[in-house]
Amino acid sequence: MRFSTNFKPYVLLLVVGIFLLLGYVSHFDFYQAGPLFCFSRRTDVVTVTPWLASIIWEGTFDPVLVDNIYKPMNLTIATTVFAVGKYVSFLRDFLETAEMHFMVGFNVRYYVFTDRPQDVPSVNLTQGRHLSVIQVPGSNRWQEISARRMEIIQTTIESQIRREADYIFCLDVDSKFHARWGAESLGRLVAVIHPGYYDQTRANFPYERRPASMAYIPMDEGDYYYGGAMIGGFVEDVYTLTTVCRNRFAVDAGNSIEAAWQEESHLNRYLLYNKPSKVLSPEYLWQDFKAKTKEVKVIRFSGVIKNYAEVRPNV
């Protein structure tokens, strides 16, 4: 087939348009809620995974566009935190800073799991945001608290959350929000790159390396080292994750094995073979004792400095 001379400019424009679209396709996150347009303007960091999921950094999304897409959808975001033992002392700062920066303009339901419901602070919540306090048992070992987290989230999704929310983020309470955490973070299954290992190779990742453990990852496998302080995504996708991890915990426990980093080890194993549809940069899980690096333009959420001997029942 031959094109006339008059058609050639239009064919050229079409070809250029296709190549431009292909250049951006790795920054589209297609899922039920619609496309997220993440146009990367960063060349100093990796902004897409090998399986073409977006890695969200400052400068890779337009917050106005994102809000215009998602706010009319009337979504509800569930947010779970465990404030067990002395960790309840971090809850006020977590909630107050979340009200300033986390999913502003969206319906948010906080689920606070605690053994000290009487110590849950009263915090003024904006319209469309609610807090539920769910009592859980305490423990003399922080490792046990960590191990039970998957089970408790799973059972609460079954009994309550799946009827009340569209998305869920499971976060650590000993943290604060410092800047926007918005709809750019939504996806079917969302993970965050651990701030201690975002610039490391997998040979340095602290995966569980014992083949006897259900969290085992061989030395020649692994994509990123994901932080256990954030699990997110569609409620049903997170339900599946927590169910699988809970069952693997049980198998390990039956064999008297505790994975190197408890739930974080099992989370990394799960995400290796069930790739996240979106990956958040360390902006969404920084650590207060770390200086901001040149790659991290904005710290959005960060673990606070603390004396573990004071807040953990065992160290």
Torsion 291-293-297-300 (CA) sign: negative
Using a 10 angstrom Cβ sphere, with 0-12 exposed, 13-18 middle and 19 or more buried, the burial of residue 22 is: exposed
Query: Which position among 99, 208, 263, 264 bears the catalytic label?
Result: 264
Q: Are 164 and 109 in contact (CB under 8 A)?
A: yes
The two tokens of residue 186 are: 């939504």
| Rg of the chain on CA atoms, in Å | 21
273 is in an annotated binding site: no
Nearest partner of 38 among 234, 277, 232, judged by Cα: 277
Asked if residue 264 belongs to a known ligand binding site, the reply is yes
Contact of 170 with 150, CB cutoff 8 Å: no
Per the annotation, does 83 bind a ligand? yes
Check the annotation: does 173 bind a ligand: yes
Residue 283, marked binder: no
Cβ atoms 299, 286 nearer than 8 A: yes
Q: Is 191 annotated as a binding residue?
A: no
Distance CA 38, CA 164 (A): 28
Residue entry with tokens 């306090």: 133
Can 264 be counted among the known catalytic residues? yes
136 assigned binding-site residue: no
Measured between alpha carbons, how far is residue 59 from residues 21, 43, 56, 178, 286 in Å? 19, 10, 8, 17, 17
Q: Give the C-alpha separation, 27 to 175, whole Å.
A: 29
Catalytic residues: 264
Binding residues for UDP-N-acetyl-alpha-D-galactosamine: 82-84, 87, 172-174
Q: Which residue ranges are tagged as binding site?
A: 82-84, 87, 172-174, 194, 264
